[in-house]
Chains A and B, each alone.
Chain A
Amino acid sequence: MAQYHQFDAIVVGAGGAGLMAALYASRSVNTAVISKLYPTRSHTGAAQGGISAALGNLEPDKWEWHAYDTVKGGDFLSDQDAVDILCREAIDAVIDLEHMGLPFDRTPDGKISQRRFGGHTNNETKKPVMRACHAADRTGHMILQTLYQQCIKNNVKFFDEFQVIDVLVENNVCNGVVAVCLATGETHVFQAKATMIATGGFGKMWRITSNAHSLTGDLPAALLRRGLPMQDMEFYQFHPTGIYKMGILLSEAARGEGAVFINNKGERFMERYAPTMKDLASRDVCSRSIYQEIRAGNGIDGKDYVYLEFRPEVVNRYFQADGNPKRVDAAYMEKRLPDIIDFVRVYMGIDPITQPVPIQPTAHYAMGGIPTDLDTRVLADEKGTVVEGLYAAGEVACVSVHGANRLGTNSLVDLVVYGKRGGMKMAEYAKQATLRPVRQDAHKMGEAQLSAIRDNPGTERPSNLRKELQVLMDQEVGVFRTGAGLEDAIERIHALQARYKHLRIDDKGYKFNSDLMEAWELGCLLDLAEVTAFSALSRTESRGAHYREDFPNRDDQNFLKHSVVWKNGGLRMAYKPVRLGRYAPTERKY
């Protein structure tokens, strides 16, 4: 027997986008947040360097420059009307966060402090601009805490540690979700006029990743199973600076403060790949450059890593070479980058103030995801058919602002701008909509997926399958891709899916059965890996984060378009045009 709940609006996921949406929706309609974690555990809290907005607090800036940088960063695949909303509304959104109490670092005259970040420029001089508003290197932590605090102040209703396993979509209408209460194992049906999906990324399909264990793509997989598509799944960002072998993120803020990449010859190699922006080129460019250095034998000790240097004397030497009057010392670095310095000390046992730091690219961010329109309404196809009552925002969604490659800090901008917009739009909708009935057996499909795992007499341990998937994705669906490798990847993912039908788990109980839920999450990862590899195979060009060695050039003639992929009843691909605006595609150089 399932338990039933009714709300005007429900939000699945309690990171930045979910809490922002809940905050704004709850101002006018009865709203609940459902999250498999306690809200403050959400991965928004791991975001480090900053949130961009053209406040111009330290030097001239314009939101139009931010928009151009975003479009260029996205290798011209972004929908430019969505980008305009993002960058224009970023200014009010950041001010809004400050008013909510977010403790931004301050300029000497008391304004919000800003710093440089990859790909953010003064469009006239082409030089880096100080646009990223920050609170040390824990900006995401402060955003998450601030939004949760505001939700408490406004008495938002939370269902903590409830894991959503199905979305009740039929004939392009959404009536709510089905969730498991993790503490009891009981099924709960949440009936709602409006449902927002804001569950973040799904980077756990890779082995070297900055993503949390919980980022397993549960909701995108549930939608695929309900016959809805995903968009631009071939575009996945590999952040250049993951801690070697662990993938833990070292913020781009390090390079914003002056850190540089160094190879085994002691060269600042980004000068060769991006003569103007150098180490602050966009992330896809930096990650590819690192691997090109490694392939050329320039990895440290001939291995698969390079150094990130933030020793003050090294940083200052390059400031001087660049004609930049800025100088740093150990105390400054400790103040501006305390968390990442701590990560390096704890996890690598070295001191970045006195030693270079071994880094390698790490799977970081999904540019693709659930297709939505500008009002965050989920789309059922490439023609723009809206799924009534269903919304998505944040990393899980593809609106699409990030195009083929996201600029640093724009994930946080996306969360607050489209989280807020989505919250307001869903409330507007819920006020005039009526609660639609759900089927008596609404919970059966989700429950059946769980019992198929729980009662399976098979032999395959989920952890083995997960590891195989992750290694495979690192090898074949990483920074460099080939047609043959992707075909092989799809075949091997299909083989893993076949083995997935013969799982064996140890825990047959109901209370906090994470053995069961992790196995179910693995099924989600396998499905998302399949559509990711298929999307990557279908795009025979290189653009942004998607690099095909067999098709190394961008092909605007054939591929200036978004991919839309379905998985029910076999893999299927469709395309829709990119919405261009002020900025015509040009060659992308940093």
Chain B
Amino acid sequence: MIKVHLKIKRFNPEKDKKPWWGEYDVEVEPTDRVLDAIHEVKWNIDGTLALRRSCAHGVCGSDAMRINGRNRLACHRLIRDEIQNGQITIEPLLGLRVIKDLIVDMEPFFAHYRSIMPYLVNDTDPGPRERLQSPEDRARFDDTTKCILCAACTTSCPSFWARGEYVGPAAIVQAHRFIFDSRDQGAAERLEVLGDSNGVWRCRTVFNCTEACPRGIEVTKAIGEVKQAIATGKVR
């Protein structure tokens, strides 16, 4: 067991006029998750601490937050990898309104997601069996199918911080997943949405999104491919 000093940005709308730093000392294993340390605080020191979490192994996307200044899933980072001089600093995601402590308003994020038609568009009759797709065509969009909608990318993006109307990296990743799916026929409409003033051209290729993605998706590359599709009018 090691001692960790956690600095957690707190805000309770029922009590606080402005955010404040809560400081807590907990004992955890170096191989514990950051989430485990936060649970130590919540379960044994201050039950009022609010956060979202569910699967606790990096697949549900609930617990994205700023850990030592970088967007991470608290369940996907270990104490030994994050501890700096005995301390870990934890804040809510930037760019979305804080509701309570580490919980931010996800509605604008999901509204952007919905705006890019995040579903297969194909009205032709598929027949009684599966549509065929070659392994190569399937591989074309594999990377972007991994997205868990945790918002780590979008809320790491300076363009999104500056302008919340920007659809953001996650919505573009989701669009990419369909635009480059050989079974999909909705690319033109999606590219129109993404080609407008709050679409892909807001991306300044800062690469924060790629660095933030807990699923290892090459987000900036995907955005680049969508930009190219808009510029050339070609998706395959």
Contacts and interface: CB of A to CB of B under 8 A. Distances in A.
Interface of A: 37-38, 40-43, 45-46, 95, 98-101, 103-112, 135-136, 138, 141-142, 145, 149-150, 152-153, 183, 212-214, 246, 248, 339, 342-343, 346-349, 461-463, 505-507, 509-515
A346 B58 contact: yes
A387 B33 CA distance: 44
Nearest to B100: A512
B135 A37 contact: no
A37 B54 contact: yes
A512 B15 CA distance: 13
A523 B93 CA distance: 32
Interface in B132-173: 132-135, 138, 141-142, 145-146, 148-149
Contacts of B14: 509-511
A368 B197 CA distance: 53
B106 interface: yes
Given A103-B138, A138-B146, A515 B48 contact: yes
B181 A101 contact: yes
A273 B148 CA distance: 39
B54 A507 contact: no
A46 B100 contact: no
B58 A509 contact: no
Interface stretch (B112-120, B199-207, B220-228): B112-120
Interface of B: 12-15, 31, 33, 42-44, 46-48, 50-62, 76, 78, 99-101, 103, 106, 110, 114, 117-120, 122, 126, 128-135, 138, 141-142, 145-146, 148-149, 177-178, 181, 183-184, 216
B12 A45 contact: no
Contact of B184 (A38, A101, A507, A509): A101
Given A109-B132, A349-B31, A45 B148 contact: yes
A111 B135 CA distance: 9
A108 B101 CA distance: 50
9 contacts: A37-B60, A103-B181, A106-B138, A108-B135, A141-B146, A153-B119, A246-B57, A342-B58, A346-B76
Overall SS of chain B's interface: loop
Contacts of A506: 46-48
A511 B133 contact: no
Contacts of A246: 57
Given A141-B59, A212-B60, A43 B48 contact: no
Given A37-B62, A40-B60, A142-B145, A101 B120 contact: yes
Nearest to A183: B99
Given A43-B60, A106-B134, A213 B53 contact: yes
A590 B141 CA distance: 39
A45 B128 contact: no
B56 A509 contact: no
Q: Which 7 A-B pairs have the closest CB atoms?
A: A101-B120, A506-B47, A463-B43, A110-B132, A515-B47, A149-B119, A507-B48
Given A103-B181, A506-B48, A46 B130 contact: no
Nearest to A140: B59
B134 A507 contact: no
A106 B53 contact: no
